[in-house]
Amino acid sequence: MNHLVALKDLNKEEIIELLELAEKFIDHEGKILKDPIFPDKKIVNIFCEPSTRTKTSFEIAAKNLGCEVINFDYNFSSIIKGETLLDTIISFEEMGIDLCVLRHTDSVIHNLIEDTKKMIFISGGEGAISHPTQGLLDLMTIKSKKGIENNNILVAGHLDHSRVFKSFLEGITNFKNNITVCGHKDLCKEYLDSSLVSFEPDLEKAVRDKDVIMGLRIQKERINEDITINIDEYSKNYQINSELLKLANPDCILMHPGPVNKGIELSQNAYDSENSVINDQVKNGVAVRMAILTKYFST
């Protein structure tokens, strides 16, 4: 466990260990606890794609553990003058930075691991491939609200290109649950015939008897020219709203990794409903990242 690139690299016991550690960083009133045990450690956040939750929660998590945090400003860095990302990270190694949280459009993290000596890498999102820390916080949210097994889970929305869903699947398939997916078939091509999930094209049918419903953002930035989606039509067929939630189990939880396109994949009333645990996910993101930093600094 030197680097965290994908959830499939962790076994069930390692995932449970991280989730249990994360739970210890939240007190019985739901407050995140500070434990400044790493005053000599330095982390750098390198986000080459936009982020609000992941970047900020890593910063808070690191500060809660007593670390120093450097938020690398990609657009005002020497990368703009032509320096490579590798040379940038080697410079950070020489400056004494121990760990790099990296979000990048491409799969560059594996080569960077090969070509650097001491830096610990944690993926903060790798193109359309992987978002392991989001996967862990989603598992933590399900574990704390419903238990990690014996749930009927629905993931609805834009599944292809979703690194959140890929990582979620890599994590949740360690545990016994039934997983259904739903969405526009042009945005769910990878999962129409999957052995891991059942595809249900009708959202009204898909939400019935569900304990956990996760909405996913329509990723306009990753849709290519071959696919034409009418957003009004899409919202009519695939939006999760409070009327639909009534068809699910009464204590069903509603999740979404954020950012939410309100009025498209999720209505405001669903977001505000008692079923919604979207804000718990955000809070759990800090605890999970504290657990990850603790674990990777200690091994």
> Per rule CB under 6 A, is residue 158 in the interface with ligand CP?
no
Could you give the string, one character per residue 163-202, with x where binding to ligand CP holds by CB under 6 A and - elsewhere?
Answer: ----------------------------------------
As measured in angstroms, the least distance from the Cβ of 145 to ligand CP is 18
> Nearer to ligand CP by C-beta: 178 or 219?
219
Q: Which is nearer to ligand CP, 126 or 211 (CB)?
A: 126
Which of residues 51 and 107 has its CB atom nearest to ligand CP in the complex?
51
**54 scored as a contact of ligand CP (CB under 6 A):** yes
To the nearest whole angstrom, how small is the minimum distance from the Cβ of residue 282 to ligand CP? 9
Q: Which of 23, 51, 190, 237 binds ligand CP (CB under 6 A)?
A: 51
Residue closest to ligand CP when measured from CB atoms: 54
> Can you tell me which of 119, 257, 270, 271 binds ligand CP, judged by CB under 6 A?
257
Among 14, 229, 258, 295, binds ligand CP (CB under 6 A): 258
Stretch that binds ligand CP, among 48-56, 172-180, 202-210, 236-244 (CB under 6 A): 48-56
Task: Supply the angle between the helices 53-64 and 278-298 in degrees, to the nearest 10.
Answer: 50
| Among 52, 78, 84, 279, interactor with ligand CP by CB under 6 A | 52
For the residues of the chain, what is the DSSP string, one character each?
---B--GGGS-HHHHHHHHHHHHHTB-TTSPBPP----TT-EEEEEESS--SHHHHHHHHHHHHTT-EEEEE-GGGSTTTTT--HHHHHHHHHHTT--EEEEEESSS-HHHHHHH-SS-EEEEEEETTTB-HHHHHHHHHHHHHHH-SSS-EEEEEE--TT-HHHHHHHHHHTTS--EEEEES-GGG-GGGTT-SS-EE-S-HHHHTTT-SEEEEE---GGG--TT----HHHHHHHH-B-HHHHTTS-TT-EEE--S---BTTTB-HHHHTSTTB-HHHHHHHHHHHHHHHHHHHHH-
Report the residue from 41, 53, 104, 184 that binds ligand CP according to the rule CB under 6 A: 53
Smallest gap, in angstroms, from Cβ of residue 102 to ligand CP?
Answer: 13
The one-letter amino acid code at 255 reads M
In whole angstroms, the minimum distance from the beta carbon of 242 to ligand CP comes to: 23
Q: Which of 45, 123, 130, 134 binds ligand CP (CB under 6 A)?
A: 134
CB of 234 to ligand CP, least distance (A): 21
Closest CA to 139 of 31, 212, 52, 221: 212
Q: Could you tell me the smallest distance in angstroms from the CB atom of residue 45 to ligand CP?
A: 11
- Contacts with ligand CP by CB under 6 A lie at 51-54, 125, 134, 257-259
